[in-house]
Structures are given as structure tokens and as C-alpha cells.
């Protein structure tokens, strides 16, 4: 099928970007994991550029705190599936792009089955467990992974896992970050992020995908671009030419017991649960919903408390840190009766 000459005429006029390059885009299959601050602009530009098949994976719903940076959504969409809304808007943008929804959490059980249908994957996630899982799955299946991350005023972009031959790959995420303690790094909601940064980094990710598919330009392979939105400066750090970190299996995804904000509110006036606030002292002083205070970095010293059979509900600002805290407790005490408040105080106050 010939490309729409009028629609794509400006990009097809580029040096080295001809009709054949546009056909490659039409035939390409791209998966975006995470329909948030990074995934929204990446999806918009890949759709508008004429990518043939675009998969979008996310199991979350739109919330009010998303709107300043997740530009596919409006206040009327709050509470609705991000994937459903994103696909509706993108279909209006370019009816010729095949849009594939994946309204499910990416886990060790389904990740290989999902990514096998795509040529390249964009990491638009905001948690380290999924980030490592995507990286490992792409290494095992030989899929390139376009990494992006944002926090406050700084963003990062890189392309992992380009296959050179049967035995040689470019560096992957584990070559740069062998291990990260997620409890020490707050997410965007907790640490803040300037909204325009999400657009800049998401567009850079889309740009790397287009370059890879059309075989134009110099990919961010074996290096990482770091961008500072405060001074509008960027630098590229070289990592190396080949990976030194083989991946042969996937770590099992731990299922975190969750309690919804509505369920918690139903039990707030009885004595059936104990609340545990895992936020910082500063956050606790500003506002809390009761319970005892055990900052997540001090949790190891209080593990004996969680051997008591009474239900414990851990909470933080958004649910990310409390999930990590529950995960840590269950690794040490597998039969602990612990839950994480789903969506954290943000969800609790919105209900």
C-alpha cells in the first residue's frame, strides 16, 4: 500500500527519508508501555507520522493529578481507562494507524507474549519493577527498547538492546543500573515534575523509534542523553558498545495485596485494621489520615511489628512506596497480613 503522499509529504522530503522510509513506518509495529506523561506524546507523534501498528499497554485510569502532563486526557476523562481514552483520541488523529489496546498490568506471566508481536518497545513506565521486567524481556526476545525517565527538571533517554549478531548486543538497562533501590527514589507525583519535560522526553523517545524504523540518523545506542529543563542543556554519556550483562530469565512479578480507598473508608471507624504511614516526616507533618508512622527507609527495623496477625494497611502519597514497603515485608514475612492503599492518599482524598 502506497503512503499518503500529501499527509506525509514534509517528512518524505527530508534527505534520506523517502517513500521507502515511509513504507517502513507503515509496516512497523510499536508497543508503548505506559500511557502517561511519556507515553502520551510518544503515541501522538508516532501515530501522526504514520506508524502502521501501535500497541498501548496500561491498566490505570485517568486521575486529576495526571492532567498537567498527560496531554491526551481531559477533566471529563477522570476515572476512565487511560488506554481506552488514548486509543479514541489517536484514532481521530490518524485512522490509518492500527491501534491495539492492552488493558492489563505487564507482569512476568504476560510480558513475553505481548512484546513478541512488536518490532520495538517504548518504556513509558514509572516504576522500577516494570522497567527491569521490560528490559529483561526485550533482551530475551531480541527487541530494542527505547528508555525514557523524568523527575523534577531532568529527563533521560536511551536505546537499549540493539542486536548486532547472535552473540552480541548493545548495552541494556542493567549495564547502566545493575540494581536500584526503588524505596529511595520518589515518583513524579511525590517528587514533582515540570509538565513540559514529559513532552520533551516522550518526543525524543518517538524520535528514536522513527530513526530506528526508517534507518536514519544516529541512535542513542551505547549512551544515554541527560536533559536539564532548567538550563536547557543536555549531555550524552557513553556507556559502552556491547552489553556485559546477559539476561536468561525473568524475575517473577510479586502480587501486592491492595485495598481500595473505598474499602479502607468503610473500616476507618472500627478496630479491624492498623494504618501505617510510610512517608517522610515532612509529609507526615503536613497531613495524615492516622495510624503509626514508619518511614519506608526505617522499615527493616520494625519487621517484628508485622508478625502480629492484625491487618496492617500501609499508605503513602500515591501507593508506589507503600507497595514497595509491602513487597519488602512479604519477602521477610511471607504470611504477613499487610495491604497497600491503592492509589495512596491521592485516591483516598479523591473518593
Q: Which residues are part of the catalytic machinery? A: 188, 316
Per-residue H/E/C for the chain:
CCCCCCCCHHHHCCCCCCHHHHHHHHHCEEEEECCCCCHHHHHHHHHHHCCCEEEEECCCECCHHHCCCCCCCCHHHCCCEHHHHHHHHHHHHCCCCEEEEECCCCCCCCHHHHHCCCCEEEECCCCHHHHHHHHHHHHHHCCCEEEEEEEECEEEEEEECCEEECCEECCCHHHHCCCCCHHHCCCHHHHCECHHHHHHHHHHHHHHHHHHHHCCCCCCECEEEEEECCCCEEEEEECCCCCCCCCCCCCCCCCCCEECHHHHHHHCCCCCEEEEECCCHHHHHHCCCCCEECCHHHHHHHHHHHHCCCEEEEECCCCHHHHHHHHHHHHHCCCCCEEEECCHHHHHHHC
CA 9 and chain centroid, separation: 33
Backbone angles phi, psi at 182, to 5 degrees: -65, -20
> Rounded to whole angstroms, what are the CA distances from 234 to 104, 111, 239, 280, 334?
35, 33, 16, 31, 45
Q: How many residues does the chain have?
A: 351
Amino acid at each position: 500500500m502506497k503512503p499518503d503522499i500529501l499527509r506525509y509529504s514534509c517528512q518524505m522530503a527530508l534527505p534520506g527519508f523517502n517513500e521507502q522510509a515511509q513504507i517502513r513506518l507503515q509496516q512497523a509495529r510499536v508497543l508503548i508501555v505506559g500511557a502517561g506523561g511519556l507515553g502520551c506524546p510518544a503515541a501522538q507523534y508516532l501515530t501522526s507520522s504514520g506508524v502502521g501498528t501501535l500497541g498501548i499497554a496500561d491498566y490505570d485510569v485517568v486521575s486529576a493529578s495526571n492532567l498537567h502532563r498527560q496531554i491526551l486526557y481531559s477533566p471529563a476523562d477522570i476515572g476512565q481507562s487511560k488506554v481506552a481514552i488514548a486509543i479514541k483520541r489517536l484514532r481521530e488523529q490518524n485512522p490509518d494507524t492500527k491501534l491495539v489496546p492492552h488493558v492489563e498490568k505487564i507482569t512476568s506471566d504476560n510480558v513475553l507474549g505481548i512484546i513478541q508481536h512488536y518490532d520495538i518497545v517504548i518504556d513509558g513506565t514509572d516504576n522500577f519493577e516494570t522497567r527491569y521486567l521490560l528490559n529483561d524481556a526485550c533482551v530475551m526476545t531480541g527487541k530494542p527498547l527505547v528508555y525514557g525517565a523524568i523527575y523534577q527538571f531532568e529527563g533521560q533517554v536511551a536505546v537499549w538492546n540493539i542486536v548486532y549478531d547472535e552473540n552480541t548486543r548493545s548495552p541494556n538497562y542493567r549495564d547502566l543500573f545493575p540494581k536500584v533501590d526503588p524505596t529511595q527514589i520518589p515518583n513524579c507525583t511525590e517528587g514533582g515534575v515540570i509538565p513540559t519535560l514529559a513532552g520533551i522526553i516522550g518526543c525524543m523517545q518517538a524520535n528514536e523509534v522513527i530513526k530506528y524504523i526508517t534507518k536514519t540518523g544516529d541512535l542513542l545506542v551505547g549512551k544515554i542523553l541527560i536533559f536539564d529543563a532548567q538550563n536547557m542543556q543536555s549531555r550524552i554519556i557513553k556507556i559502552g558498545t556491547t552489553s556485559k550483562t546477559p539476561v536468561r530469565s525473568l524475575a517473577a512479578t510479586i502480587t501486592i495485596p491492595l485495598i481500595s480507598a473505598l474499602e479502607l473508608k468503610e473500616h476507618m471507624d472500627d478496630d479491624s485494621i492498623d494504618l501505617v504511614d510510610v512517608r517522610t516526616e515532612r509529609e507526615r507533618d503536613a497531613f495524615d489520615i492516622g495510624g503509626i508512622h514508619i518511614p519506608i527507609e526505617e522499615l527493616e527495623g520494625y519487621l517484628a511489628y508485622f508478625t502480629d496477625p492484625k491487618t496492617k494497611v500501609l499508605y503513602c502519597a500515591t501507593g508506589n512506596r507503600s507497595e514497595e514497603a509491602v513487597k519488602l515485608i512479604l519477602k521477610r514475612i511471607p504470611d504477613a497480613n499487610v495491604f497497600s492503599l491503592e492509589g495512596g492518599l491521592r485516591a483516598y482524598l479523591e473518593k
